[in-house]
Amino acid sequence: MQPQHTANDIGNAPQKSNLWCSNNFFLWLMVGCGVILMLIWPVIHTIAFRNILLWVGGIIGLGYIIRERSSLYQKSALPLLFIFLFFVWLITHYFLFSHNPQLELEQIKSVWLRVLLACFLGIGTGLFVRQYRHAQLVVWAGILSFFIIIYGDYIWVSFSISDWKLPYRFDLGLFGNKITAVFYGLVSLALACGVISYQLMQATKNKGYILLASMTSIGCTFLAFVITGTKNGVALGLILILCVFVSFLRTTKKSLKSIVIASAIAALIGTMTYFHLKVNPEWDSVFPAVVAGIHIDKYPNWKDHQDYGLPNNVGLPKNVDGALLGESAYLRTAYVVEGLKLLLKNPLGYGLYNKSFRYLADENLDLPPRSSIIGTHCGWLDFSLGLGIPGLLLTWTAIALAIFYSFKQKSLWTYTTRWTLAGVFVVWTFSEIFNNHFIESLFYLVALFSAGNLPVKDEISPSV
C-alpha cells in the first residue's frame, strides 16, 4: 500500500543534503523556466524567449520524468495518463476528423508542440518540487507575484500618456488585452485562497505571517482586477474570496490576529468592489443584456454589432426602459448560445484551437463579410469547438482526477492544487481564452499540480 505522506507540507517537506549543489543545477533551472514563463507568458513580443524557456525546461523535464518514471506507476498518476491520451486524440483527430488538415498540422507543429513541452516542464517540475519545500516556495512565489507586473504596466502606460484614470489603457501596455489579468490573476488568487484554507484547517496553530502574506496577495490581485476594469475578474475573484471566508468562518480556532487581518481584507475588498461598480456602469444592464443575448434570432446584432447597429449607431438592443444594454454581456451570451448549437452539429470539433468558432460559423451561418467574430468568449466552449467533446472530456477528466487525488492527502501542496485547478476551471468557463499562451499555461499547471500530488516514498535517494 502506498504510504500517505505530508512531504508537501511547507514545514515537513524532506530536505536533502547539498540542496544547492551542482548536481541540482539543471533541476533548479527547470523550476526557474516554469516560474519565468508564468510571469511572461502573456507579455507581447516575448515568443522567442518563451520558446527558449519551453525547450530548455521541457527537455530537462523529460529527462527527469524518465529518471523518476517509477513514481508514475500509481493510481494518483492517472491525471497524467489522461493528458497523454489527449495528445493521442489530437493526432487521431488530425488524421481522421480534420476539417482543415493544413491549418491543423500547422498548429500541431507550433502550438501543440509548445503545449507538449509545457507538459514535460510541468510534470518534471512537479516531480521535483514534491520533494523540496524550497522549490515549492519558488513556484508559489512566481505565481503569486503576477500582480506586480500589472501594477508596473499601469504605471508605465499611465505615465506615458499622462492619464491615470481607471481602468487604464491596457491595450497600450505589455499585454494587449485585459483577459490576461483575469486568467493569471485568478490563478494567483486561487492559489492564495488554497494557502489560507490550509492554514485555517490545520489542527496545529496556524502561522499568522503566512495568513497575512496570503491575504495581502489576495488584496493586491483584486486591486489589479479593478485597475484593469475586468468585470469577470472581479466577479470570479469575489466568488473565490467568499469561499475562503466561509472556510474562515467555519474554522473553530480563530486568533485575534487572523480576525483582524480577515476583517481588514474584507473591508478593502468591499471598498474596491464598490469603486469598480462606480466606474463600470455596464453592470446595471447585465441581466437584460443576457436575456437579449439568449434570443439570438430576435436580436441578430451579434453577427456584426458594428454594422447591424440601431438608429443611434450602437449595435445593441434596448431594454424596456430604453437604456442601452451592456455590449460585453450581450455579445458573450449570444456567442455562447450560437457556439453550443455549432458544437451539437460538430461534436468532434473543427481541429483548430483558437479560431474554430469563426470557421464553423462561416460554414454554417450567413455572416456579413465584415463580421469580427473570432471566439465564443467561453474558453471551454472554444476548446471543444476546436478539439471536440472527446478532447474536452479528456482535459476535464485530468483536472477532476488531480483535484480528487488532492483530497487523498493533507498538505499545503494538495490544498493549493485543488484551489488553483478549480480557479483555472472557473476562469476558462467565463473568459475569452483564445490566445496560444493560455493553452500552454493551462496544460503546464495541470501537469505541474498533478505530478506534485504524487506521494513521496519513505526512502529518498541522497542525490538528485
324 with 420, same domain: the answer is: no
pLDDT at 58: 97
With respect to residue 9, please indicate whether it lies within any of the assigned structural domains: no
pLDDT at 67: 93
Among 183-197, 217-231, 250-264, 344-358, the minimum mean pLDDT is found in 250-264
Q: Where does a domain end: 295, 321, 345?
A: 345
252 with 292, same domain: the answer is: no
Q: What's the whole-number mean pLDDT along residues 51-56? A: 97
pLDDT at 9: 47
Among 1-5, 37-41, 306-310, the minimum mean pLDDT is found in 1-5
CA–CA dist 74, 441 (Å, integer): 25
327 with 404, same domain: the answer is: no
Supply the range of the domain harboring residue 155: 22-177+179-228+230-279+377-452
With respect to residue 365, please indicate whether it lies within any of the assigned structural domains: no
pLDDT-based confidence at residue 424 (cuts at 50, 70, 90): very high
Choose between 394 and 359: higher pLDDT. 394
pLDDT digits (tens, 9 = 90+) for 110-148: 999 999 999 999 999 999 999 888 899 999 989 988 888
List helix spans (H) across 312-434.
327-345, 356-364, 379-406, 412-430
Phi/psi at 183 (5° precision)? -65, -60
pLDDT at 320: 45
With respect to residue 361, please indicate whether it lies within any of the assigned structural domains: no
336 with 192, same domain: the answer is: no
pLDDT-based confidence at residue 396 (cuts at 50, 70, 90): very high
With respect to residue 8, please indicate whether it lies within any of the assigned structural domains: no
pLDDT-based confidence at residue 63 (cuts at 50, 70, 90): very high
Number of domains, the chain: 2
pLDDT digits (tens, 9 = 90+) for 167-215: 788 778 888 777 888 899 999 999 998 988 887 776 455 566 777 788 7
pLDDT at 207: 66
With respect to residue 3, please indicate whether it lies within any of the assigned structural domains: no
pLDDT at 323: 52
Q: What's the whole-number mean pLDDT along residues 59-63? A: 96
pLDDT at 437: 86
273 with 288, same domain: the answer is: no
Closest C-alpha among 439, 436, 437, 432 to residue 233: 432
336 with 234, same domain: the answer is: no
With respect to residue 353, please indicate whether it lies within any of the assigned structural domains: no
Choose between 56 and 374: higher pLDDT. 56
266 with 313, same domain: the answer is: no
205 with 74, same domain: the answer is: yes
Residue 226 grid cell: 479593478
CA–CA dist 345, 332 (Å, integer): 20
pLDDT at 322: 52
pLDDT-based confidence at residue 256 (cuts at 50, 70, 90): low
pLDDT digits (tens, 9 = 90+) for 257-316: 667 666 766 776 777 666 666 656 565 566 667 777 776 777 777 676 555 543 233 444
pLDDT at 93: 95
pLDDT-based confidence at residue 433 (cuts at 50, 70, 90): confident
CA–CA dist 124, 126 (Å, integer): 5
Among 30-34, 390-394, 452-456, the minimum mean pLDDT is found in 452-456
255 with 317, same domain: the answer is: no
Distances in Å between the Cα of 47 and the Cα atoms of 38, 195, 294, 460 are 13, 32, 38, 38
245 with 326, same domain: the answer is: no
Task: Report the percentage of the chain scoring pLDDT > 70.
Answer: 75
pLDDT-based confidence at residue 20 (cuts at 50, 70, 90): very low
253 with 330, same domain: the answer is: no
With respect to residue 363, please indicate whether it lies within any of the assigned structural domains: no
Among 103-117, 163-177, 216-230, 317-331, the minimum mean pLDDT is found in 317-331
CA–CA dist 413, 194 (Å, integer): 9
295 with 264, same domain: the answer is: no
Q: What is the DSSP letter of 110?
A: I
pLDDT at 262: 67
With respect to residue 362, please indicate whether it lies within any of the assigned structural domains: no
Choose between 332 and 93: higher pLDDT. 93
Residue 317 grid cell: 438592443
pLDDT at 305: 57
Question: Alpha-carbon dihedral of residues 50, 121, 170, 327, nearest 10 degrees?
Answer: 130
